[in-house]
A and B are shown apart, each in its own frame.
Chain A
């Protein structure tokens, strides 16, 4: 890895660590009775209301349709995600220290898999809350109606318009991934350039050696 790639990988780790502090995803809920909107913010380790008491309000409203109360402590993935993210941050730092291109590639691969799994978990969670209703105690029953918010985009759920969008945390994670990818690209390109230069240099050296020895030329390149 080039020095630049190592620095970039470390920077990516720091940016990723920032995702601990801010929400990853946001769900806005708008209704005629809630022109100011209610909101859910999904963090790496919790789900909370956007407003001071939004989570309780949403839970209170959801009892009408038989939806389970959203209890962050009862969502297993929220217990795992901080560890996964932490491992990825530590991994990036380790890669930066070790400076091995293959490790960087492996880290990016793990990152992509974790991201895909995370999104899938989120989708499954939304689907479970939206569909797995307590129909016996539901007060409002609309045949065929389910209430999962969209993964991304807007959807009408009875009187509520649910708008689901990535939040700053996901943007940070995306930026970190792109930086990591660029670091890999930079290292690969540098290695390739070095190899090519090595090739050119050695033929030139051969040419030169046939005439006179040139101590100037030092082979260069990555590991």
Chain B
């Protein structure tokens, strides 16, 4: 009974706080709808036709499983990068080339929940080589090549469930990490859920990431069965350390909402990963049989390959003294963010009334002095007072994440009071606050988690949209807001809708990426087994029930464009090559009754569509991307005959090709 009363009180107090926060926001701004735009915000975000934006921004697509690319300050969507979910718009995950990208040890998993994009770094600064992103549901990390804006590699994480604290990078991109949100039995076996404390474990995975096509798990660290939430690498003086937030140190396994919110403090796990490397090298990690998929796109053939790996090195901190320390941190910390200098470790306790900031130098001293407050499974807990540098007082309600502007200021998102708070590193005083519409989760300053923030804009990635856009039934737009942080006062500039729920985002100046974009694939370097490099190379062949069609697509026809001799019961593979070598001349390929998708073909690319005709007849195929003035003429027919028919297998070629072949 008493716990029921407590719960009601807590909820009541929460509601009262939320109401007063809303009132506070209204009183503070004197505005009803939150139209807080001051000055000439329109011209600050207006990019005239023909001009470019200043920044590329990569927003997680949340449960869309993808990354969406926006440009700032205009907030325009310019691209969706298909990562963890099938994408019928391009055929990603459907065609024979890319479907193996979505293989896992659980079989074909054609969707995921993507949370945290992370740009690769060199010397702690985003370098624009790759962007990584996590799949939260079936723990995976993906690499997107930023000269192609295309997913080129996906690695699954064994011993994990809920790859949430992922894929944060070391300053040299040697490792990205992935820590389990849900602790599970390791190895995962059939045990009673109420044996949680005994059987459930968390793992922190360190993934070698600096060799494209060769991502692998360097080692995993076996941790107490908490929920691992977010992470960031140290930099500068703290380079070589990785910090992970945890909640549910209560080790609850039911009604976590209440039961995981009881402890006054949870912990941040500080990992000395060079120490871990040394222990692994000394053979202190054990090899554990597991199954996890590694998928990567072969550059020469444009075909994804999938391999199943069977072993991972797992390090128990008890076998490697000094590899992990725990920093007590108030109330279910969510984000752990390291300032550009590398000295301050900012933790945001979701339910805390302050923002605690740990000091890396004090942490080192506390370790040297053995200022311990007990241990968990042999992992020392450092004294809170020995590591804390300061606390930001009365920051607002529900602090989640912090980013930095490189000018000594920090910006923290406040979910419950729906605002962003600017405060000063070192003095911990609140300098400014701006209301957000509504309930900000992550916030993002370009480079704001790196050594070198480009501190001009801040993007607020919001969880609730309510009345900000024209209503669209029960499910409303997802939304982000752009804020000018170049002056003393934050200025609201723009609302822009997003695809899926935007969790975290990354951004960097346009100059870093725009001149390194691949305009088309070199046809001469295409090693796909189904490639045709000239129209005359097209044709059709049969091998039992399998029919292979090699076809060229070029303005404005397919070669061949008439196919006969296919029979019901055959499986047809269309290998279509866009033999154009011209920027932005893309062709598509779609055939009547296809059960998978169409193909979108970049110039110089070959892709393969599998097609199983069900009944005799004539089936048209056509180009789906308006390629030229005669795009509507870009079509052909496949004749399908009954099984056992004696219609010969033939493929014509175009008149033009015939003319060329006859030397005319």
Contacts and interface: CB of A to CB of B under 8 A. Distances in A.
B629 interface: yes
Interface string B357-396: 0000000000000000000000000000000000000000
Interface string B637-664: 0000000000000000001100100000
Contacts of B554: 60
A45 to B, nearest CB: 23
A125 interface: no
A63 interface: yes
A73 interface: no
Interface in A106-141: 137, 139-140
B54 interface: no
A53 interface: yes
A140 B633 CA distance: 13
A164 B36 CA distance: 56
Given A137-B655, A137-B656, A137-B659, A60 B629 contact: no
Interface string B549-571: 00000110000000000000000
A137 B520 CA distance: 29
Contacts of A52: 581
A182 interface: no
Contacts of B655: 137
Contacts of B299: none
Interface residues of A, number: 12
Nearest to A36: B583
Contact of B629 (A36, A57, A64): A64
A21 interface: no
B580 interface: yes
A158 to B, nearest CB: 10
B582 interface: yes
B630 A139 contact: yes
B656 A60 contact: no
B582 A60 contact: yes
Interface string A167-211: 000000000000000000000000000000000000000000000
A98 interface: no
Contacts of A140: 629
Given A60-B554, A64-B629, A139-B630, A53 B582 contact: yes
Nearest to A159: B629
A80 interface: no
A152 interface: no
A60 B630 contact: no
B582 A57 contact: yes
Contacts of B656: 63, 137
Interface string B312-350: 000000000000000000000000000000000000000
A60 B580 CA distance: 9
Contacts of A220: none
A53 B630 contact: no
Interface string B561-594: 0000000000000000000111100000000000
A53 B580 CA distance: 9
Contacts of B555: 60-61
B70 to A, nearest CB: 24
Contacts of B659: 137
A52 B524 CA distance: 13
A65 B468 CA distance: 52
A145 interface: no
A97 to B, nearest CB: 47
A61 B582 CA distance: 11
B581 A57 contact: yes
Interface in A143-169: none
A56 interface: yes
Given A137-B655, A137-B659, A53 B629 contact: no
Contacts of A64: 629-630
B71 to A, nearest CB: 19
B605 to A, nearest CB: 15
Interface string A53-74: 1001100110110000000000
A148 to B, nearest CB: 22
A142 B641 CA distance: 42
A135 to B, nearest CB: 14
Contacts of A139: 630
B581 A56 contact: yes
A56 B580 CA distance: 8
Interface string A30-57: 0000001000000000000000110011
Contacts of A63: 656
Nearest to B580: A60
Contacts of A61: 555
Q: Which of A53, A64, A137, A139 has the most B CB atoms < 10 Å from its CB?
A: A53
Contacts of B520: 53
B466 to A, nearest CB: 42
Nearest to B582: A57
B306 to A, nearest CB: 33
Contacts of B581: 52-53, 56-57
A137 B582 CA distance: 23
A139 B631 CA distance: 12
B125 to A, nearest CB: 31
23 contacts: A36-B583, A52-B581, A53-B520, A53-B581, A53-B582, A56-B581, A56-B582, A57-B580, A57-B581, A57-B582, A60-B554, A60-B555, A60-B580, A60-B582, A61-B555, A63-B656, A64-B629, A64-B630, A137-B655, A137-B656, A137-B659, A139-B630, A140-B629
Given A56-B582, A57-B582, 18 more contacts: A36-B583, A53-B520, A53-B581, A53-B582, A56-B581, A57-B580, A57-B581, A60-B554, A60-B555, A60-B580, A60-B582, A61-B555, A63-B656, A137-B655, A137-B656, A137-B659, A139-B630, A140-B629
Interface of B: 520, 554-555, 580-583, 629-630, 655-656, 659
The 3 tightest CB contacts between A and B, nearest first, are A53-B581, A57-B582, A56-B581
